Structure 1
Amino acid sequence: MTIASCGSVSATTLGLPNSTAIPAEKATLPKGLFVAKIPVSAKTKQRLANDIETITMLSLLQARNTGLAAGTRIPEILVIGLRLRGTNAAVPTDIVELIAMQRKSGMLFACVRDADFEGTTRQECAFAVRRSLPARAGHTTTSKIFVSDWKPAGEATLEAADPAVDSVDALWESFCSQVILDDPSPVDLDARLARRMQIARLTTQIDKLTRDHQRAKDAEQRNEIYAKLHRMRKQLEELQVQ
């Protein structure tokens, strides 16, 4: 069987089990499939037509072909290759959103581009997932597209054998953790993600307050800003050692 590929990226190069690879003859997904049943903006339609060369299903991971327990939230995981047109293209987050929102399955996107490198070009791969953000009880849940760093296509891999991965649900958490945090552990991902988001917010606030403190002329105002800075820096230190 010839397995599907997106550029030089395939289930095999990604390190996924051969049992999950999609046959090449069944792998190509027509672009029109994703704009047929839902309203789509003209801009997104144009990007789908012009910026995406091909959409290819590379791997389908289920309980039956992975040896994992069936998921209760995620029935299966699709790994979809997006071959991008042009050189040094960015991950098309609007296209990832368009495709991922239409199916309950977990979807991991392997985006493949040609990129300038040391006077020549090479193929690079970045991963993307759509995931709900951690939310407090009673608050509306929102989703976000998370994107990994670009890597040479031959070095872009997914870890599917973490000891804590015992179900399709846990495998999806592991894949999301790899994309978002560069860590294969599926354990407490929402808590780890919430901590990272809090660290990012505090870092931004500290940078702003530091500039405000430098500009402040009034001594009372400077002292007030300094006190806020001290509290936030302490919070940041506590989060970073957890």
Structure 2
Amino acid sequence: MMTDASHMPQRFAHCGSISALTLGLPAATAIPEEKSRLPKAMFVGHAQLSAKLRQRLTNDVAGITMLALMRPANMRLAAGVRVPEILVIGLRLSPKATTVPTEVIELIAAQRRSGIVFAVVRDVPHEGSVREECTLAVRRALPGRAGHVPVHEVFADEWRPAGEVTLDTDGIDVASASIDDLWASLCAQVILGSADGADLDARIVRRAQIGQLEATVDKLARDHQRAKDADQRNEIFAKLHKARQQLEALRAQ
């Protein structure tokens, strides 16, 4: 007996075991499997690729898959000003590749106005077997002065077992939020580990400043231990004390 295709269950796109549903996204955003494969050639076009980028795209990325598409209609949100929609794209790494392919993410994300969350999937040895891991990554413009050419950076979360990686969209207030607010929340989850997208640029700047001060404090502490001259030790200690105060103030904000 032939089966009516209209009654067959929908097969959604997946990258390894990662899909829109495993990430916790609404089924309405999931891409059908038959429409999900994205050939690498579509991102190359007439662009002049560096040897390093061409190598990473060719050798490090085994496949590119569209997993989900979030639009104002299927997320029941208002239209955005900054981003018209949000894509979730899966990047399956080749067996020998283990790091986030930031150059490939930059290449793909720079070609669209849409916000894009990348789900990067790899297989790694684990306790005598192989474990599938995933990390989420986004490309976002760094805070800068008006009128200046924006500078973008690729941010990636830590690697986790694939089954533990999710995106939280439940905290968005559909009565008042836009797709821009959802994009800010998703970026905050990847970059800061928080679903709160408020004042995101300022929080990213503060995190970078904290990282710089932590490195400064660490260096000054080691310099102070090595210094033999009393005047030099006192000078370094004064700088160390000031840096620690600045670090405490930033952390308290």
Give the structure-2-normalised TM-score.
Answer: 0.91
Percent identity (aligned):
57
* CA distance, structure 2, for counterparts of residue 88 and residue 184 of structure 1: 30
- Greater gyration radius: 2
* CA distance, structure 1, for counterparts of residue 103 and residue 218 of structure 2: 30
The C-alpha deviation readout for 1:128-180, integer Å capped at 9, x for no partner, is 11111223556653111101111111111000121457111011111111111
1:215 corresponding residue in structure 2: 226
For 1:124-135, list aligned pairs within 5 A.
124-135=133-144
2:4 corresponding residue in structure 1: none
Report the AA paired with residue 50 of structure 1.
N
Give the counterpart of 1:46 among 55, 60, 72: 55
Q: Does 2:68 correspond to 1:59?
A: yes
* CA distance, structure 2, for counterparts of residue 142 and residue 186 of structure 1: 20
Query: What is the root-mean-square deviation of aligned Cα atoms in Å?
Result: 1.5
Deviation at 1:123, TM superposition (A): 1.0
Report the AA paired with residue 231 of structure 2.
E
- The structure-2 alpha-carbon separation of the partners of 1:33 and 1:160, relative to structure 1 and needing over 3 Å to count, comes to same
* CA distance, structure 1, for counterparts of residue 74 and residue 184 of structure 2: 18
Give the counterpart of 1:105 among 107, 111, 114: 114
Give the counterpart of 1:183 among 174, 182, 194: 194
**Structure 1: stretches of 5+ with no match in the other structure:** none
2:103 corresponding residue in structure 1: 94
Q: Does 2:237 correspond to 1:226?
A: yes
For 1:142-181, list aligned pairs within 5 A.
142-163=151-172, 166-181=177-192
Larger CA deviation: 87-96 vs 126-135: 87-96
Provide the aligned length of Structure 1 versus Structure 2. 242
- The structure-2 alpha-carbon separation of the partners of 1:206 and 1:136, relative to structure 1 and needing over 3 Å to count, comes to farther
* CA distance, structure 1, for counterparts of residue 206 and residue 125 of structure 2: 35
Report the AA paired with residue 152 of structure 1.
P
